[in-house]
Amino acid sequence: MRLADDFRNSELAKGLIDGIRRTSTRKARLMEFCGGHTVAIMRHGIRQLLPPTIEMLSGPGCPVCVTGNADLDKTIALARIPGVILTTFGDMLKVPGSRSSLQEARAEGADVRMVYSTLDALQIARQNPSRQVVFLGVGFETTAPTVAASVLQADKEGVGNYFVLSLHKLCPPVIKAILDSGEIKISGLICPGHVSAVVGSQSWDFIARDYGIPCVVSGFEPLDILQSVHMLVSQVEKGEFKVEIAYRRGVSAEGNKRALEIMYQVFEPGAAAWRGVGTVAGSGLRLGKAYQRFDAEAAFEFDPGPTVEPKGCICGEVLRAVKTPQDCKLFRTVCTPANPVGPCMVSSEGSCAAYYLYEATDER
């Protein structure tokens, strides 16, 4: 069994697509919360294969996209502090803040280094004892435990020059905020597969229970997504609303208890600002009291400068799924992956980037 390839099998995909077409009679508007799902759906051309009864909406589950300019400006200000090595996942390098980006800061002399893992950032800290290594913590519940683990490791070893700027966010509170706003009506939710691997499918119970919306936890291969659509459509047809797991090989109801323990040992929930949505209580993670000495915000003095939002950019509305990229006047005209105005275009998981890269406007 070759895990990734098996879940791309075109014969099995055909079986699922036929199943979806046979089952779907009513209009269904399905949202995939997670940016990774948006990309997978676009990359494999899944929308074209679905019957016209099904409409797909992309949600705000792109941690880079939902990081606001004020926070981006903080990261750039930190990077500019002499002696600081700013380590970050590649996703964040090109995102434009109010005036600059980490990539630009690097070109101007800031020491900004891309890493694949906090393990690498810790290693940089060990190898550069006279410098201060700040890790830019961006990501949801999939990533936050890994950053928490790195703080525990640094603590254990007594690495005194490792810091974290936590911009981590939690998914359930923001899904709740979006549903509460009443701006969009969805018939079903494709739940994030890897966030669920950590938090468990139980984290989405409230959506079915309190909002009557069917939920299916999905993996990221084409068959996973098709299977999830099939399961959601089946629920919609039967008028059911429950939480189901399609991604059974990776997700359980309780999630990964150890990962959650570690995450909450180091971090505590607090309010966080989501681009386009505003501040949502309890939706962010900040370093807890016991680990304050690792907090970059506390350890350094820096001035991010005034926050400026890009004019004409409707990333916020795209993130809330009230507008699509095509609704934006800047899409493809001014705002392109080469010259992005907002994060939805520069993030590898942003809706605008996905639509730009994979969707032909003149062929469907």
The DSSP bridge partners found for residue 13 are: none
Question: Of 68-97, which residues contact other proteins (CB under 8 A)?
Answer: 87, 89-91, 93-94
What value, to the nearest 5°, has the Cα angle with vertex 29 and ends 26 and 35? 150
Question: Of 25-54, which residues contact other proteins (CB under 8 A)?
Answer: 33-37, 42-46, 48-49
Residue 16 binding other proteins, by CB under 8 A: yes
Question: Of 290-329, which residues contact other proteins (CB under 8 A)?
Answer: none
Closest contact distance (angstroms) between CB of 345 and other proteins is 10
* CB nearer to other proteins: pick between 11 and 301: 11
Residue 215 binding other proteins, by CB under 8 A: no
Residue 161 binding other proteins, by CB under 8 A: no
Closest contact distance (angstroms) between CB of 356 and other proteins is 7
* CB nearer to other proteins: pick between 302 and 359: 359
Residue 334 binding other proteins, by CB under 8 A: no
Nearest residue to 243 (alpha-carbon basis) of 254, 319, 23: 254
Residue 276 binding other proteins, by CB under 8 A: no
Q: Which position has the token pair 């390098």?
A: 93
- Binding-site size for other proteins (CB under 8 A) equals 90
Residue 341 binding other proteins, by CB under 8 A: no
Residue 142 binding other proteins, by CB under 8 A: yes
* CB nearer to other proteins: pick between 303 and 362: 362
Give me 106's structure tokens: 């690097």
* CB nearer to other proteins: pick between 47 and 293: 47
Q: How many CB atoms lie within 10 A of CB 158?
A: 6
The DSSP bridge partners found for residue 217 are: 191, 245
Using CB atoms within 10 A of its CB, is residue 301 exposed (0-12), middle (13-18) or buried (19+)? exposed
Give me 315's structure tokens: 């990333």
> What is the rounded distance in angstroms from the CA atom of residue 68 to the CA atom of residue 75?
11
* CB nearer to other proteins: pick between 82 and 182: 82
Q: Which residues contact 259 (CB under 8 A, 6 or more apart)?
A: 145, 198
Using CB atoms within 10 A of its CB, is residue 309 exposed (0-12), middle (13-18) or buried (19+)? middle
Residue 19 binding other proteins, by CB under 8 A: yes
Stretch that binds other proteins, among 135-143, 180-188, 266-274, 310-318 (CB under 8 A): 135-143
Closest contact distance (angstroms) between CB of 357 and other proteins is 5
Q: What is the DSSP string of 104-150?
A: HHHHTT-EEEE-SSHHHHHHHHHH-TTSEEEEEE--STTTHHHHHHH
Q: Which residues contact 191 (CB under 8 A, 6 or more apart)?
A: 33, 34, 201, 204, 215, 216, 217, 218, 243
Rg, Å, the chain Cα set: 21
Closest contact distance (angstroms) between CB of 243 and other proteins is 17
> What is the rounded distance in angstroms from the CA atom of residue 342 to the CA atom of residue 313?
6
List the one residue from 30, 84, 154, 223 that touches other proteins (CB under 8 A): 223
Residue 157 binding other proteins, by CB under 8 A: no
Is 286 in a helix, a strand, or coil? strand
* CB nearer to other proteins: pick between 21 and 293: 21
* CB nearer to other proteins: pick between 53 and 305: 53
> What is the rounded distance in angstroms from the CA atom of residue 89 to the CA atom of residue 103?
12
Stretch that binds other proteins, among 70-78, 160-168, 182-190, 346-354 (CB under 8 A): 346-354
Closest contact distance (angstroms) between CB of 34 and other proteins is 4
